[in-house]
Amino acid sequence: MKTVLVLGAGTGGIVTARELSKHSGNEEDINLVKIQVFEKGENSLFSPSLPWVMVGNRKQEEVTKSINKLQASGLEVIQGDIENIDPENISITVKGKQYKGDHMVISLGVDQSDIYNLEQFGHNFFTLKGAEDFHSKLKNFDGGEIAILVSSLPFKSPAAPYEAAMLIEDFVTKNKLNNKTTVSLFTPEAGPMEFASAEASEELKELLEKKGIRYYPNHQLTKVSANKLEFNNGKKYSYNLLAYTPKHQLPEVIRKTDLAGKSGWVEVDNQTLETKFQNVYAIGDITHLKTETGTILPKIGVFARQQGEVVAHNISRKIGNQEPDQIFVPEGKYFIEAGEGKASESGGKFSGEENKKVKMKDPAQWSHFSKWWDEKFWFFKNF
């Protein structure tokens, strides 16, 4: 029996494991392929919902599920920190025990680390605790300066800071604090979601301005103190409540291996997601992928899902002694919450000249419902 090691029970890892089970021929009583999923935490978090948590629209139990509830034939969940990865021999060590596989799919996501002592002054809304703590402060907020800060590049879910800003502005307006509150977004980016088309980026910028959100691009943080942010252009801004994105980097267990590339991320084949080690794949936020035009592909959940499907399909073909016949094409759509019960649909092909055709639609209730349904269906389908 062949064994596939799936490292990480985030978006990409879950899709990979379930697709492997579907394609393997596994049934309730007959397992032809062993699928082992490794996850350090007890729960799987649906991180696209964190901006909702920030404004009190979601609670912990609505955005997390126990990894032990992952359902698929032939699937085994193993909890614990991965202490060592040996890609050459397709093996890993967890709690001192070695697990060996015939194929390995690495979907560990990014390590988050706080820089400039940000954790002392603000809330990391890329974690559940940070989003919850921010909401605790927001619901008792009586006016002042609210800052959303992108602390470093690159970061996953590149729409999240913009969603957070618009949802916070909506909260402030509903609570009649808008006449004594300003919402500001500071980022090192030259424009919102630069990876999208120039048109889509400009439309998002206009949407922020229309809502009265102050937008400060090309602002790289150099220092933070109580109630003050300082940037590389010499400018300083005060704040009363701060939410920030953390620094994103490769997990240390991967940094210790030959998987780490010059980019600081895992280099993979653009089409198959295979690393330089045979039968070892990497998907999701840990990868470094370039389009034909040299643009770096953003770290978006929709791509992790697509990559998981491609890799699972091709591994199943290999196990069945068939040629792999699928490639990863970065395309799809995602929804950006805009407040007032509306969201903007954005999407298209994110490669080559096609990237110029990435469109962003006006905020609509239907798009908000689509985002809501994506969250509900994710848990229904996988847990």
DSSP code per residue over 197-218: -HHHHHHHHHHHHHTT-EEE-S
**Percentage of the chain exceeding pLDDT 90:** 79
Are 244 and 254 in a shared domain?
Answer: no
Mean pLDDT along residues 145-174: 96
User: What integer pLDDT is reported at residue 356 of this predicted model?
Assistant: 55
User: What integer pLDDT is reported at residue 11 of this predicted model?
Assistant: 93
CB 250 within 8 A of CB 260: yes
| Token pair listed for 97 | 């025990």
pLDDT exceeds 90 at position 294:
no
pLDDT exceeds 80 at position 24:
no
Higher pLDDT, 72 or 226: 226
Are 215 and 317 in a shared domain?
Answer: no
Are 141 and 165 in a shared domain?
Answer: yes
pLDDT exceeds 60 at position 227:
yes
Are 135 and 86 in a shared domain?
Answer: no
pLDDT band at 376 (very low <50, low <70, confident <90, very high): very high
Which residues make Cβ contacts (< 8 Å) with residue 174, sequence separation at least 6?
none
- Residue 175 located in a structural domain: yes
Are 241 and 122 in a shared domain?
Answer: yes
Which of 205, 220, 248 terminates a domain? The answer is 248
Residues in the chain: 383
Beta-bridge partner residues of 146: 183, 241
User: What integer pLDDT is reported at residue 353 of this predicted model?
Assistant: 59
Number of structural domains (the chain) is 2
Mean pLDDT along residues 34-51: 94
Are 151 and 164 in a shared domain?
Answer: yes
User: What integer pLDDT is reported at residue 92 of this predicted model?
Assistant: 98
User: What integer pLDDT is reported at residue 28 of this predicted model?
Assistant: 66
- Residue 343 located in a structural domain: no
- Residue 377 located in a structural domain: no
pLDDT exceeds 80 at position 72:
no
Are 169 and 91 in a shared domain?
Answer: no
Average pLDDT of the chain is 92
**Percentage of the chain exceeding pLDDT 70:** 96
- Residue 26 located in a structural domain: yes
pLDDT band at 61 (very low <50, low <70, confident <90, very high): very high
- Residue 221 located in a structural domain: yes
- Residue 366 located in a structural domain: no
Look up the domain containing 184 and give its range.
114-248
pLDDT band at 354 (very low <50, low <70, confident <90, very high): low
Q: What is the dihedral of CA 4, 9, 15, 18, to 10 degrees?
A: 60
pLDDT exceeds 60 at position 355:
no
pTM of this prediction? 0.94
Which of 311, 329, 347 terminates a domain? The answer is 329
Query: Tokens 């990559």 belong to which residue?
Result: 307
SS3 of 248, please? strand
Q: pLDDT tens digits for 181-204?
A: 999 999 999 998 877 778 888 999
User: What integer pLDDT is reported at residue 193 of this predicted model?
Assistant: 82
SS3 of 192, please? coil
